[in-house]
Structure 1
Amino acid sequence: MKLLGYMGMFFLVLGNLYAQQIKITGKVTDEQNLPLPGVNIIIKGTTSGAQTDFDGLYTLVAKAGDILMFSYVGFETKEVQVSSNSSLINVNLKASSSALEEVVITGYATTRSRRVVKHSIASSTISKRKRRKSKNQTGLRGHVAGVHISKAPKLSSTNAIKIRGISAISKAEQPLYIIDGVPLDGKDINRIRGIDPAKISKVEVLKNANASALYGAKAKNGCVIITTHSGNYNVDNHESYKEIVENDFKQVQIAPLSTFSIDVDKASYSNVRRMINNGNKIPSDAIKIEEMINYFDYSYDQPLEEHPFAIHTEYASTPWNKDTQLVKIGLKGKEIPQKDIPASNLVFLIDVSGSMSDANKLPLLKKAFTLLVQQLREKDKVSIVVYAGAAGVVLKPTSGAYKNKINQALQSLSAGGSTAGGEGLKLAYKLASRNFIKNGNNRVILATDGDFNVGMRSDKDMKNLIQEKRKSNVFLTCLGFGMGNYKDSTLETLAHTGNGNHAYIDTMQEAQKILGKEFGGTLYTIAKDVKIQVEFNPSIVKAYRLIGYENRLLNDEDFADDTKDAGELGSGHTVTALYEIVPIGSKSSYVKEVSNLKYTNASLDKNYTNELLTVKFRYKKPKEEKSIKIEHTLTTSKFDKVSQDFNFAASVAWFGMKLRNSKYIKNQNLEDIITLANKNKDKDNQGYKSEFVRLMRSYQDL
């Protein structure tokens, strides 16, 4: 009996020991004690685990008695048993002497090493004759060991692909599919059947722990790697844009104030231009009218007073609706000569994931950045951070005097792997903060298609990250590249949250504009958190609506709240906003009658009968947190005394509304829009306004 009692106590203690949850942290290094990022730590016999960050650090929860498996490509797998006091486990991995010869490993380095994991990869190059016989993935059957492809029932057009040794686990579990270096989300798996077998060059299969070692927990069920002849196969168009709900008319007696943040972004115009030139359908949410208007230069006078921008207002009849009037509000930022711009601490954060392999992505990006490098001065310094499956430093802070060294680092980059954008942003901000220049121009320049598929992925997660990082007084510029999976919404969110700007580069011409001609405005902020609040005079204006800026609207009380974020104004930038107004006495089907108020009696002040509106501005100096307020009044005496700038901006807004199928334009005639733009495109030294006219004619022919 005593023996049974002892045994019971033994098993009770043992059970408590093994049930104990322990939070384990540690660092994984190589034989030179250098940190290893991306090491997979798996609890043996489970799919639970973690991965090391850029500094080789990890955190996970395990039980006493668990065995941790540390695996990394090119190194021997190491097993460590967890004990009751194993809160810190540091591991040193040894390089494998016999495993590797033939798999491409890409990530944060500037060079590539080709290796193979023994017994983990089955590979087949499909001959042309065999491809001609194939009509779908079943053409791969028999060519790759361990791959079983079965014909689906007649009601489904999808073939089932399973890897030997995996299908026994669960019929619902699928391997990770990677096409030309791009991992596919679960929602895309069925689209693999749409790949033309004639386009497939090679198929590789990774099984067991080796799949997880290369591609993380997503590959726990194995991995099918498909390489096409083009090397840049796109499964589908996954471009995304934030929803835009067009601004409606508001009645002045009920809502006399209109408040919004400025927006100097220009991405929408160049993106729309790309779609028209390619003959693509334009998603309505891709059309941000304020960004189209602000793409162009206007002949606004420079500021003469102490404020960093000048204010210009004018109004006239609306060209697309004879019953309304159009008001233009323009800002002109002070132009700072390049030699007078403070020393710059720039971190180029470059996406080198597989989705960036297209000619209009990383190859264009590298050429575009050489334009920026040419303008750097000796007192400026540049660092380069890249990210794919992990993030890393390619170029430590380097003086602008060493342009060849910076360009060589850029040209050495190549694309491949998944997209850990969140890790890249963290590392870039860390580097920028470490090399911060007091009273200088400190900025991260993110260049990507915005397709983040590892780690942080949602716009909300990214916004929260940048809100924290912007406290460092490091600004953010986002440059979008490419098509097919361009994530405009993500880049817009990052730029707005990071006290920065957003542009889309589709050609070297656009690169020259953004990184060459407008270098100062793109990279040097002269005023931050710039807000506009317009108060309309109810004795003259019945109703109004702001054209565009739907994603930049603010509450009226936000205007005086210095904690509320708003847009930034760069050196030499112009900002233009248009309001369509319905004058008192004019009837409009857009303005609905509202019942009389019982408790509020709004009386009109007779002293301001010649004032149409008052526009108020608040801004902060780049290094300060208290805003400065200025005001400007537009009187009725200026009606119809308008400039060519007014008419050209109106033509751009008119075309943008037509593209969006706006319910607020009565005249839909494209030829009238072209005529208005053509008559008012003087002072077009760079030819952008003439290009706009040609673009509208191209759209007319679609």
Structure 2
Amino acid sequence: MENNQDIDKRFNDASKLSEEPAVFPGFDNVWAKVEEQLDKKEEKKRILPVWFPYGIAASLMIGLGAFYFITKDKTHESSEPLIVKNRTETHSEKNSVRATDSIVRSKIEKEIEASELSQKLPDLAYEDAKVPKDRGRVAAAQKNDEIFALKRSDYSTDEYYIKKKDQTVISAPQIKRKQWDDTTTTKSIEEVVVTSLMATKKNAAQSSASSTIQPNYIASNSNVSQALAGRVAGIQIQAYGSQRRNRNAMANKPGTPNIGYLNNNNPIVIRGMKSLDSTNEPLIVVNGKVEGRNYFSTLNPEKIESMEVVKGAGASALYGSRGVNGVIVVKTKRLSRKEKRRMEKMEQTINQYKPNPVSDNEGYDEFVENPFELTKNQPLSTFSIDVDNAAYSNIRRMINNGQAVDKNAVRIEEMINYFKYTYPQPKNNDPFSVNTEYSDAPWNPDHKLLKIGLQGKNIAMDKLPASNFVFLIDVSGSMDSPNKLPLLKSSFKVLLDQLRPQDKVGIVVYAGSAGMVLTPTSAQEKEKIMLALDNLQAGGSTAGGAGIELAYKLAQENFIKGGNNRVVIATDGDFNVGASSTSNVQALIEEKRKSGVFLTCLGFGMGNYKDNMLETLADKGNGNYAYIDNLQEANKFLGKEFAGSMYAIAKDVKIQVEFNPKYVSSYRLIGYENRKLKNEDFTNDKIDAGELGSGHTVTALYEIIPAGTKSEFLPNDSSLKYTRTESSGDFGSELATVKFRYKKPDGDASKEISQVVGNASGKLSSASSDFKFASSVAWFGLVLRKSDLIRKKDFSEIENLARQGKANDTEGYRSEFVRLIESYKAISK
């Protein structure tokens, strides 16, 4: 017991003596093994506290030192007291103990000192008494690269650990002090460090797959702008001219890696977005918080888990006008609880407005564009008017979502008639005025364009008859989407704001079956109607046919004689129970229109949207058709244009144009492919046609090949043996005669009016703004349909013509069309 106490006392006394050179045999080998084990742990990316490996090393050295002291002389006899043996020894053992403990203490003190210094100066490149001249440049480069170096020294080596800010540790090979002193005289510090880093397999994996890293571009290699360029869909990094010159200069240097030369000042632009203010920089959001460009540029790309581009309605829903140039949403790998909550809330909003690609599950009827007709063989052209505008808003949805436009979704007449034109009001008792204009065709310069426009009579709201509305609402499972049933409810509330106390509203819904939710109720009880709407929920299959039957039954039971009786159906058009095919629904709606009840179709949603079903319903059911892609469109169709959309002033309106072969060699009707009628149907009052609403405008365009004009699109002339095709007389300068037939909303007999068009053509530059704008819309539609009957297809020319026709754009719809051309031009490249 006494011997043991004496040993402890001797050990403590020895540790208090002054440090002497280490004489512990094999100590270097032991330390090397410790270092080897630590390096293996670091290569596995295991993050340990700074003091942990050194604590282990210190413990091992203390234990080995004590063990060595006790067992140094293995030849002594076990019965001989160790304390006696030690008293007769020289001071060599004491020196060994002192050296061992001195080394342990020295290393621990140095590590504590280095740790404290690294916390105070996180961007310090090296901690050494000998600071090379280029230390400042290294520190700056490493700061930009978000890398800093920590140096740990013992008696024989300088070892460097390169540590990313995400705590990933990369161990560099050891650099002998002599090697360091030699190399720093001819090489920069960066080259020494990078050379040592490149020697390890670990760092090779961290070097962005580059075979060589040039020291001068270390900072650029981890710049977030480089990480974005070409890797995130929808983002464009604009490089400055000087950077492009540098890039070209370096391109011819052998071994130069393709690591990018983008700096923190490169503008980031979201493709397909047109700036509405002086800048086009997007809003940058990191972990649910709006951050500045400087913060974003210094963000370590390795910390980024995901990045998403949000624009259009999604960006507006998140940040309103601040998101006008789009939003870049960045999510890092490690989030706090607060950041997680913010990101979950953001992701919910983004998912509501996330675009779905136009899929094969959307339904569009194929059709062939109208061909050119030889006037001498077919001088008559007959068609039904069309006041639908669903095609335009549907195409707008596709373009704004960056989707390919289905050519069969492009109905040019609906695109043209989406916009209002400044035609004069009718002067007589006729329900509409007739207006024509004749000028050059912009897409085929040798051709002409005839514009025919109708202007419906404006009737004041207090003069409109009482209304009997039945809302037929699809609440099937397919409507369970933010841009369907929720948007539908908001849209109907816009409609309710236009109604008067004498107007009535009933609500019928359908899913697996049909049912009545609200009996016809005065619009004065708005809260009751809105409550019925708010309680609707989506689920089940889609029995559209049963819903139509019940809605018309309710409308007929509450029919107002001389009033406005109308079913308003809101759906994505996906009927799958009962009468579900287009032909079956067509037969059903043709039967129901005999009741005198009109029909308005409102389309919602995407992905499974059935445009062909809703177009059939509107065309065959004395109705009109609009596609609601956002609340602004609902406000336009159901709010601002409420009277024209919901109150018909004429029905079964037909147009027949007879061309004079003296001036017209050939012609074709632009659009209206689904509205063409047989020539004999013009005077047949049993044939259904389109309806014209209060204040509504209808526009049609004919492309004409003038007589004597050589055109590649002129049809081949077939000589007839028995039929005379010459002009039957001299009609002066008459180009054509336009005839119209219509019925009153509650009438069965049609009335005809006519108007002569003169052969007086002006240049396109002197045409009216309405002519220029309507022709630009038609031109855009022809390009979207990939028409084979036009020569010029340049979007810039279309945009320029549309800008010339922007006059009287009080609501901004024409300006929106110009931006739509710009967006499509950007995404179609």
* TM-score by shorter chain over 0.5: yes
1:314–1:639 contact (8 Å) kept in structure 2: no
The whole-number CA distance in structure 1 between the counterparts of 2:514 and 2:689 is: 30
1:344–1:442 contact (8 Å) kept in structure 2: yes
* Matching of residue 544 in structure 1 with residue 643 in structure 2: no
User: Which residue number corresponds to residue 88 of structure 2?
Assistant: none
The whole-number CA distance in structure 1 between the counterparts of 2:761 and 2:802 is: 22
Matches within 5 A, 1:103-252: 237-252=360-375
C-alpha spacing 1:632/1:231, structure 2 compared with 1 (3 Å) = closer
3-state SS, counterpart of residue 665 of structure 1: coil
Q: 1:653 aligns with which of 771, 774, 778?
A: 778
2:659–2:737 contact (8 Å) kept in structure 1: yes
3-state SS, counterpart of residue 594 of structure 1: coil
User: Which residue number corresponds to residue 139 of structure 2?
Assistant: none
3-state SS, counterpart of residue 666 of structure 2: strand
Show CA shifts across 1:14-67 (max 9, x none). Answer: xxxxxxxxxxxxxxxxxxxxxxxxxxxxxxxxxxxxxxxxxxxxxxxxxxxxxx
User: Which residue number corresponds to residue 466 of structure 1?
Assistant: 589
User: Which residue number corresponds to residue 287 of structure 1?
Assistant: 410
User: Which residue number corresponds to residue 618 of structure 2?
Assistant: 495
3-state SS, counterpart of residue 601 of structure 2: strand
User: Which residue number corresponds to residue 598 of structure 2?
Assistant: 475
User: Which residue number corresponds to residue 667 of structure 1?
Assistant: 792
1:611–1:633 contact (8 Å) kept in structure 2: yes
CA deviation after TM superposition for structure 1 residue 397, in Å: 0.7
* Matching of residue 374 in structure 1 with residue 497 in structure 2: yes
User: Which residue number corresponds to residue 629 of structure 1?
Assistant: 752
3-state SS, counterpart of residue 637 of structure 1: coil
CA deviation after TM superposition for structure 1 residue 245, in Å: 0.5
3-state SS, counterpart of residue 493 of structure 2: helix
Amino acid at match of 2:783: K
The whole-number CA distance in structure 2 between the counterparts of 1:668 and 1:388 is: 45
CA deviation after TM superposition for structure 1 residue 557, in Å: 0.5
2:441–2:447 contact (8 Å) kept in structure 1: yes
The whole-number CA distance in structure 2 between the counterparts of 1:592 and 1:307 is: 38
Show CA shifts across 1:437-468 (max 9, x none). Answer: 01100000000000011111111100111111
3-state SS, counterpart of residue 492 of structure 1: helix
CA deviation after TM superposition for structure 1 residue 340, in Å: 1.0
Amino acid at match of 2:670: I
User: Which residue number corresponds to residue 311 of structure 1?
Assistant: 434
CA deviation after TM superposition for structure 1 residue 607, in Å: 2.7
CA deviation after TM superposition for structure 1 residue 322, in Å: 1.3
Q: 2:540 aligns with which of 417, 426, 435?
A: 417
Q: Which structure 2 residue ranges, 5 or more long, are not aligned?
A: 1-347
The whole-number CA distance in structure 1 between the counterparts of 2:461 and 2:564 is: 12
User: Which residue number corresponds to residue 569 of structure 2?
Assistant: 446
* Matching of residue 677 in structure 1 with residue 795 in structure 2: no
Matches within 5 A, 1:569-584: 569-584=692-707
CA deviation after TM superposition for structure 1 residue 591, in Å: 1.2
C-alpha spacing 1:580/1:232, structure 2 compared with 1 (3 Å) = closer
The whole-number CA distance in structure 1 between the counterparts of 2:394 and 2:644 is: 20
Relative to total residues, which structure has the larger helix share, 1 or 2? 2
Q: 1:686 aligns with which of 811, 825, 829?
A: 811
User: Which residue number corresponds to residue 514 of structure 2?
Assistant: 391
CA deviation after TM superposition for structure 1 residue 305, in Å: 1.0
User: Which residue number corresponds to residue 401 of structure 2?
Assistant: 278
1:304–1:310 contact (8 Å) kept in structure 2: yes
Amino acid at match of 1:339: D
Show CA shifts across 1:524-567 (max 9, x none). Answer: 10000000000000000000000000000000000011111100
The whole-number CA distance in structure 2 between the counterparts of 1:453 and 1:636 is: 53
The whole-number CA distance in structure 2 between the counterparts of 1:377 and 1:482 is: 30
User: Which residue number corresponds to residue 549 of structure 2?
Assistant: 426
User: Which residue number corresponds to residue 824 of structure 2?
Assistant: 699
C-alpha spacing 1:598/1:659, structure 2 compared with 1 (3 Å) = same
Which deviates more from structure 2 when the two are superposed, residues 604-613 or residues 520-529?
A: 604-613
User: Which residue number corresponds to residue 646 of structure 2?
Assistant: 523
User: Which residue number corresponds to residue 595 of structure 1?
Assistant: 718
CA deviation after TM superposition for structure 1 residue 243, in Å: 1.2
CA deviation after TM superposition for structure 1 residue 683, in Å: 0.5
CA deviation after TM superposition for structure 1 residue 269, in Å: 0.1
2:669–2:703 contact (8 Å) kept in structure 1: yes
3-state SS, counterpart of residue 405 of structure 1: helix
Q: 1:332 aligns with which of 455, 458, 465?
A: 455
C-alpha spacing 1:237/1:243, structure 2 compared with 1 (3 Å) = closer
The whole-number CA distance in structure 2 between the counterparts of 1:596 and 1:585 is: 18
3-state SS, counterpart of residue 447 of structure 2: strand
The whole-number CA distance in structure 1 between the counterparts of 2:524 and 2:755 is: 45
3-state SS, counterpart of residue 533 of structure 1: strand
2:389–2:418 contact (8 Å) kept in structure 1: yes
1:232–1:358 contact (8 Å) kept in structure 2: no
CA deviation after TM superposition for structure 1 residue 605, in Å: 3.9
The whole-number CA distance in structure 1 between the counterparts of 2:819 and 2:585 is: 38
CA deviation after TM superposition for structure 1 residue 602, in Å: 2.7
CA deviation after TM superposition for structure 1 residue 639, in Å: 3.7
The whole-number CA distance in structure 2 between the counterparts of 1:370 and 1:596 is: 62
The whole-number CA distance in structure 1 between the counterparts of 2:463 and 2:498 is: 13
User: Which residue number corresponds to residue 509 of structure 1?
Assistant: 632
1:232–1:357 contact (8 Å) kept in structure 2: no
Relative to total residues, which structure has the larger strand share, 1 or 2? 1
Rg larger in structure: 2
CA deviation after TM superposition for structure 1 residue 592, in Å: 2.8
3-state SS, counterpart of residue 271 of structure 1: helix
Paired residues in the alignment total 474
C-alpha spacing 1:297/1:232, structure 2 compared with 1 (3 Å) = closer
The whole-number CA distance in structure 2 between the counterparts of 1:401 and 1:357 is: 30
The whole-number CA distance in structure 2 between the counterparts of 1:350 and 1:630 is: 39
Q: 1:352 aligns with which of 457, 467, 475?
A: 475
User: Which residue number corresponds to residue 568 of structure 1?
Assistant: 691
CA deviation after TM superposition for structure 1 residue 671, in Å: 0.2
3-state SS, counterpart of residue 247 of structure 1: coil
3-state SS, counterpart of residue 450 of structure 1: coil
Amino acid at match of 1:683: N
